Amino acid sequence: MFTRAPLRKLVLAQLAAQCEKVGLCKPGVTVQLGMVAAKIKGADEGKLVELFKRENWVFHGPAWVREQLSQQANTQYTNQVSTVVAKILLRK
């Protein structure tokens, strides 16, 4: 569906309109596609970075995921699932 630019533009405009209508965002918001990938096969990361830059989409690869987990794991203990999971995943 999102390989066809006119349809993608229509769907994202509708999403923005619906979010504005129910108060989830301010009027005039710009919707942007993105992807977070914790693991990518071989040289595919470079191809994905190029594609996402060309399309003006947001891409966060494995290094970004590791950095975010590390930041979360280095915080003081809180009773939040995300903090506990980050600490478990990055335990030595």
What is the residue extent of each domain of the chain?
A: 1-31
pLDDT score, position 76: 80
Beta bridge partners of 35: 59
Joined tokens for residue 43: 């040289």
- Contact between 48 and 76 under an 8 Å Cβ cutoff? The reply is no
Closest CA to 35 of 57, 13, 18, 20: 57
| Phi, then psi, of 23 in degrees rounded to 5 | 80, 20
Tens place of pLDDT per residue across the chain (92 aa)? 578 889 999 999 999 999 999 999 999 998 999 999 999 988 899 999 999 999 999 999 999 998 988 888 888 877 888 888 888 888 87
DSSP at 34: E
How much is the pTM?
Answer: 0.73
Joined tokens for residue 38: 């914790």
